[in-house]
A and B are shown apart, each in its own frame.
Chain A
Amino acid sequence: DGGITQSPKYLFRKEGQNVTLSCEQNLNHDAMYWYRQDPGQGLRLIYYSQIVNDFQKGDIAEGYSVSREKKESFPLTVTSAQKNPTAFYLCASSIVSTVTGFLNTEAFFGQGTRLTVV
């Protein structure tokens, strides 16, 4: 089955630690995204990548880092510099039109990782 997989589903982090959230897709999508969702809030974009070995900061990139070494994988590291990391993290992927560069189709989301600082 094609899809996008996030792991783990739940993650606990001690203050001062870095943690890495995994996101893998087998949809052959070029674009991948990381969003953060806080209770009662919409999704805020952390980082996105449209091609291997390239990524851009979103609206709230401070305290986070990513890599895109393979098309299928886009891991997110929550560093100790992120002061309020407790949140629900969502990864998504999509096709980007090679003609327009626009995101003209739907985004597919993983089931999310709930990160809690203890």
Chain B
Amino acid sequence: SQQGEEDPQALSIQEGENATMNCSYKTSINNLQWYRQNSGRGLVHLILIRSNEREKHSGRLRVTLDTSKKSSSLLITASRAADTASYFCATERGNRLAFGKGNQVVVIP
């Protein structure tokens, strides 16, 4: 089965609001990564959190990791129209990345 399953699948928010999305996985991991994909484009790396880390920040992004629950969350604070994209979590096991189905986030100006 596919590693990484984001929830919710689609999110529509007003500019300035926060957006939170979750990701669960099934087996032990070395790290978990979040990526953004604009429509019809490649993926862009946002943040990597290692299995021994619980929280990580990067600008307006905050990622948490709970290895006991096998879950992670991505919070985007003070969202902007430019944050409109699909967001994917990916789990790393050994030498490959496994991606979830992604969250579509629409930020309304």
Q: Which A87-110 residues have a C-beta within 8 angstroms of B?
A: 88, 90, 92, 96, 100-110
Q: A102-B30, A107-B45, A109-B42 are in contact. Are A42 and B95 (CB under 8 A)?
A: no
| A112 contacts B by Cβ under 8 Å | yes
B42 touches which one: A41, A58, A96, A111 (CB < 8 A)? A111
B99 touches which one: A40, A42, A104 (CB < 8 A)? A42
A109 cross-chain contacts in B, Cβ below 8 A? 35, 42-44
Question: How many residues on chain B are close to A (CB under 8 Å)?
Answer: 26
Question: How many residues on chain A are close to B (CB under 8 Å)?
Answer: 31
Top 9 nearest A-B pairs (CB, nearest first) are: A109-B42, A106-B45, A43-B99, A42-B101, A42-B99, A109-B43, A111-B42, A103-B92, A102-B30
Listed in ascending order, the chain A residues whose CB lies under 8 Å from chain B are: 6, 31, 33, 35, 40-45, 48, 50, 58, 88, 90, 92, 96, 100-112, 114
Q: How far is the CA of A105 from the CA of B47 in the complex (A)?
A: 10
The answer to whether B88 touches A43 (Cβ under 8 A) is: yes
Minimal Cβ-Cβ distance residue in A for B43: A109
| B79 contacts A by Cβ under 8 Å | no
Contact with A along B19-40 (1 / 0, CB 8 A): 0000000000011010100001
